Amino acid sequence: MEVLARPYDLWEGIYKIWLIITIIIYAVVAIPALYFMIRYRYKPGDREVGDQEHEGHWGLEALWTIIPLIIVLYLATHGFAVFTQMRKPPENALELKVTAFSWGWMFQYPNGKVVVASAIRDTEDKKCRPEECYGVDGVFQQYVYIPAGVPIKVLLTSQDVIHSFYVQPAGVTQDAVPGRTTYTWFQINKPGEYWVFCREYCGQWHSRMFAKLKVVPKEEFERWLRGELADSGHESGKGAVANINAEAQEVVR
């Protein structure tokens, strides 16, 4: 069975292990605790004072030091292995250069094509209805086309403050730090629309810093990349990019 997105499949594995261990530990602590709370209540004439000699038990204390130690060492080592796998982008990955700015990202494809996903900055914000605030208008906020089933390596940087880049279905987050290039990778197998959010607080419109990924079959993506797809907003996009860049520069200053 094909997974929806990578490396989310790896994340799900470690998530399930953690969840099971967590539920077991909670039960191991809470069930005896609740039992003692009910069983050893103060009862006048019968149980007025607790057992004064019961001050510790060497074996028990060693037990609940060593077993948790083994569990956390296992978790950290397993996490180490999974993380190493997660961080390695496949060889054939498509490279996408992403530059964050306040408040949006500029995506550069290998053939030089540029797409901008910028927050709709409506100063009289009361007018912006929820579906509009997070909508794609094709000018400032353009669809980011991604081929289905192809690994994408993202090279990230920022031109002003620290932002971040979170691909919801793939479960990857990476900060975009000015003066540095960081990377992450993901792959989405099923065509559709998916969210990208900024997760590092970056000022006034942090909450509206999002992008919509439009995952399409590979052939359709190739046509879009060559500018043959009507929906691409290609021409109007160019003007918008210039505007956004000018504005972003202004913000920096």
Partner 1 sequence: MREAVHVEKPWFSASIWEWIFTTDHKKIGIMYGVTSTLFFILAGLMALGMRLELFSPGAQYLKPETYNYFLTVHGTVILLWWAIGVWASFANFLIPLMIGARDVAFPRLNALGYWMFFAASVIALITLFPGNQIMTMWTGYPPLAAKEGVGFAGTTALFVFIWHLTGFASIAGAVNFITTVIRMRQPGIGFFNLNLFIHGVIAANVIQLLGVPSVAGAVTMLFLDTYLNTSFFDPTKGGDPLLYQNLFWFYSHPAVYVMVLPAFGIISEIVSAFARKPIFGYKSMVLAIWAIAVVGFTVWTHHMFVSGIPDWVKILMSYTTLLIAVPTGIKIFNWVATLYRAAIVYRTPMLYALGAILMFLIGGLTGIPLGLPAFDIAVHDSYFVVGHFHYVLGMAVTLSAFGGFFYWWPKVTGRMYSETLGKTSFWLVLIGSNLLYFPQLIIGLMGMPRRYYDYPAIPEWVTLHQIQTYGAFILAFGLFIAIVALIKGALTGEKAGPNPWNSNSLEWRIPSPPPPHNFDRPPKVEENYCPHKYRK
The yes or no reply on residue 26 touching partner 1 (CB under 8 A) is: yes
Residue number with CB closer to partner 1 (106 or 120)? 120
The yes or no reply on residue 86 touching partner 1 (CB under 8 A) is: yes
Region of 7-15, 139-147, 217-225, 229-237 interacting with partner 1 (CB under 8 A):
7-15
**Amino acid, res. 129:** R
The yes or no reply on residue 22 touching partner 1 (CB under 8 A) is: yes
Region of 92-100, 125-133, 213-221, 242-250 interacting with partner 1 (CB under 8 A):
125-133
- 197 Cβ partners below 8 Å, 6+ apart? 166, 168, 209, 210
To which residue do tokens 């009289």 refer? 124
How far is Cα 186 from Cα 106, in angstroms, rounded to an integer?
18
The yes or no reply on residue 250 touching partner 1 (CB under 8 A) is: no
How far is Cα 101 from Cα 158, in angstroms, rounded to an integer?
6
Residue number with CB closer to partner 1 (235 or 250)? 250
Residue number with CB closer to partner 1 (89 or 224)? 89
The yes or no reply on residue 253 touching partner 1 (CB under 8 A) is: no
| Residues 90-109 close enough to bind partner 1 by CB under 8 A | 102
The yes or no reply on residue 130 touching partner 1 (CB under 8 A) is: yes
Residues in a beta bridge with 186 = 152
The yes or no reply on residue 3 touching partner 1 (CB under 8 A) is: no
Between CA 92 and CA 100, with CA 96 as vertex, the angle to 5 degrees is: 155
| Residues 146-185 close enough to bind partner 1 by CB under 8 A | 160-162, 164, 166, 168, 171-175, 177-180, 182
- In this structure, the strands spanning 163-167 and 182-188 are unpaired
Among 4, 93, 114, 133, which residue sits at the site for partner 1 (rule: CB under 8 A)? Answer: 133
**Contact code string over 204-233 relative to partner 1, x by CB under 8 A:** xxxxx-x-----------------------
Q: What is the 3-state secondary structure (H, E, C) of 188-229?
A: ECCCEEEEEECCCCCCCCHHHCEEEEEEECHHHHHHHHCCCC
Residues in a beta bridge with 101 = 104
The yes or no reply on residue 237 touching partner 1 (CB under 8 A) is: no
The distance of closest approach from Cβ of residue 144 to partner 1 in the complex, given in angstroms and rounded to an integer, is 16
**HSE (CB half, 13 Å, CA atoms) of 159?**
20
